[in-house]
Structure 1
């Protein structure tokens, strides 16, 4: 993949761009195997490759520059905006939206936030593209000062971007290194972006998480579904379920699937998806995954545990408390999807009775050393 920003050293986020893609994929496979260490029972399946460019379904664009000459991209070490509207990682519909959004910044007089001086309003423009090329657009603002102007000019934005189905404002008044705040203001009648994956419609609300690479995410869900179906469980938990990608894929007649997620918005999204798909055997609850597991075991005894557990934790992993609960429980199989092989290895050390028997690297993030690795653990 050629990137003019990388060549000019304006953006070096794609740290592996000097390597060929086969070299990148081989290095990720070797890294996963080295981090997990020698495991005679572990059968590594061929890695899942991605397209090299145009794979990112979301853009997290820092607002910089001035209201009359805004930049959308990143900030350089001095805090100046670096415009990345032509980044080759974005697919066509998302790519085409960025100059329109930059023009809208000027039209609605959204002054970019100055990190050094802590002045201005617009911090980020966040865009997500669905497989049907529809868009969810979010403006992250320091205050409500600009909301009225955004509402006033919203018809012009929707006319210029007819595929924009959800537009919202996120209020992030604090000066801190996080992307968004807690309060979301919807500006459109539609509340969710429909992400069509493997024939399932997954609804994505503005504050819900979805994997960055839709095609590789689809492969991840299929792999988990196949492993779960081979075991024919009657009861499955999907911990850290997000918008329900794993849970909805493994749902089947006669099977109860419970998804647990801290994000209330993600749980609301998952419930809409399940209802539309007619998956009556699924339920989604807002809560902490570890607290749910420990509470179920404490109140219902060992019989409260399911046959299979799916976990897809953040980079830090499931942590010792949940790992030790899984070790003590009668759970027969665990499907563990991890974006950080190191935390996966630490968690595996806490549950030696659950042995990895299959593993697969999925290249969710080409041009970087990041990847997803999914493993099937069986009780021995």
Structure 2
């Protein structure tokens, strides 16, 4: 099953292995006599020749260098020619029908970890119209030298940068921006930041695209405020690409892995893009959280609206509301909507978006979710529907308890992590809320990620 040229597995060893499954990050699962193996670019059912990149005590990681026997799931014409080197989209070599079944099976597997969650209906995956060229936001690292800059993503488990050239996942305008910025860095001789020496200027490139406007925002993340180089680079980009409406410099002098710093400096009079999700217009600023797939966001907003079953007089609470997308989509059919978000800048953006859409029955509050829930309960507020849309880690148990204490008739939980969703649904079951159904949405085709919308109803806890 495994052929090794050396007695001891080491970096640069070459092995031939059969792949039995995929782990949660999309690595192919196999084993040698001494190590569990995780092979990037492999699919269940493949037999591959792989090069080992890293060896730990009991685990070794590698990548495919040749497919010896292809899996029945493997696509004959994957849309990316460098997927085995990039590894940013581990499912891109898998037929889409198998991707859809794989994601649904993964959700079911997480639910089976909790005995009380056995009767939930998990629908077939909802897929957006586009399976490639859908990503409208890209956060990319800049490396190398100004004479030969790399703009891309970190290779897995390393600080090496894989240079992205015409990525099939990115919106075409994102790819055009990357190509122009690469030329501009070389032409203007803009110093590229080196994290080892801590010298240089350019650290990251953030690109956002509004599909409704067909315009782009370009944000240069730099190690310090240096107006001259970025001014000329921004001017070059706008001359080459008239679709670029917003150019900003974000200063991040920290040494960690956080991409954006706290300060933006605009090089254009316009400071935001406007995107439309269904009937809602949303202003997008450099640090706004916004879904990277507009089509996928439309599917989620529509499902939340359907399951909320609003008739015009209900009170709705939207926790972790971000810039207000879901709250504003529900407001026209509700009596009132309250949005809660911990990031103050997002709350300010949400209030602007309410004014932009002419919506007056929607208010937003900044603060910790658990604390604001306690305040709402103390004020005697009642809500018919509560929407939860937390970050990947899910909700703290205190938040879930305080949501249940408000006694809404319906909870709608939007999740980007099947693991934390299953955990939280299990907690909510003990608090009197039973999940009836889950609608998976493929917000990120070709990747391991899947969004879920769950509908919960209030039940008798003693039943």
Can you list the C-alpha shifts for 1:40-62, whole angstroms capped at 9, x where unaligned? 65333332113321111111111
CA displacement at 1:35 relative to structure 2: 1.3
Alignment of 1:126-137 (within 5 A): 126-131=206-211, 132-137=213-218
Aligned length: 374
CA displacement at 1:114 relative to structure 2: 1.5
Distance 2:158 2:305 in 1: 47
1:60 aligned to 2:135? no
Distance 2:344 2:239 in 1: 31
- 1:329 equivalent in structure 2: 406
- 1:151 equivalent in structure 2: 231
Distance 1:334 1:149 in 2: 50
1:315 aligned to 2:392? yes
CA contact (8 A) 1:239 1:259 kept: yes
Distance 1:291 1:110 in 2: 46
TM-score, normalised by the number of residues in structure 2: 0.77
Distance 1:102 1:189 in 2: 24
CA contact (8 A) 1:253 1:281 kept: no
Distance 1:86 1:72 in 2: 11
Distance 1:357 1:13 in 2: 34
Distance 2:185 2:382 in 1: 51
Q: Relative to 1, partners in 2 of residues 1:324 and 1:231: Cα closer, same or farther, differing over 3 Å?
A: farther
Q: Relative to 1, partners in 2 of residues 1:225 and 1:82: Cα closer, same or farther, differing over 3 Å?
A: same
Distance 2:438 2:313 in 1: 20
Distance 1:55 1:372 in 2: 15
Distance 1:75 1:311 in 2: 32
Alignment of 1:169-318 (within 5 A): 169-230=249-310, 234-252=314-332, 255-297=335-377, 299-300=378-379, 303-318=380-395
CA displacement at 1:172 relative to structure 2: 0.9
- 1:71 equivalent in structure 2: 150
Which one is further off, 41-50 or 331-340? 41-50
Which one is further off, 260-269 or 96-105? 260-269
- 1:19 equivalent in structure 2: 94
Q: Relative to 1, partners in 2 of residues 1:294 and 1:178: Cα closer, same or farther, differing over 3 Å?
A: same
TM-score, normalised by the number of residues in structure 1: 0.93
Structure with more contact order per residue of length (Cα contacts < 8 Å, sep ≥ 6): 1
**3-state SS in 2 of match to 1:189:** coil
Distance 2:232 2:348 in 1: 29
Higher helix content, 1 or 2: 1
CA displacement at 1:151 relative to structure 2: 2.2
1:163 aligned to 2:238? no
Distance 1:309 1:175 in 2: 39
Output the aligned Cα RMSD: 1.9
CA displacement at 1:220 relative to structure 2: 0.3
- 1:124 equivalent in structure 2: 204
Can you list the C-alpha shifts for 1:247-298, whole angstroms capped at 9, x where unaligned? 011012561111111222322222222112111101122222222112222x
**3-state SS in 1 of match to 2:206:** strand
Which one is further off, 195-204 or 215-224? 195-204
Q: Relative to 1, partners in 2 of residues 1:221 and 1:64: Cα closer, same or farther, differing over 3 Å?
A: same
Distance 1:5 1:117 in 2: 30
CA displacement at 1:165 relative to structure 2: 1.6
Q: Which runs of 4+ in 1 moved over 6 A?
A: none
Where does structure 1 lack aligned partners over 5 or more consecutive residues? none
Can you list the C-alpha shifts for 1:201-260, whole angstroms capped at 9, x where unaligned? 111111111111110111100110111135755211111111111001101256111111
CA displacement at 1:350 relative to structure 2: 2.0
CA displacement at 1:103 relative to structure 2: 1.8
CA displacement at 1:78 relative to structure 2: 6.2
Q: Choose the corresponding residue for 1:346, options 423, 428, 431.
A: 423
Which one is further off, 248-257 or 175-184? 248-257
Distance 2:353 2:449 in 1: 29
CA contact (8 A) 2:438 2:453 kept: yes
CA displacement at 1:80 relative to structure 2: 4.2
Distance 1:10 1:84 in 2: 11
**3-state SS in 1 of match to 2:86:** coil
**3-state SS in 2 of match to 1:10:** helix
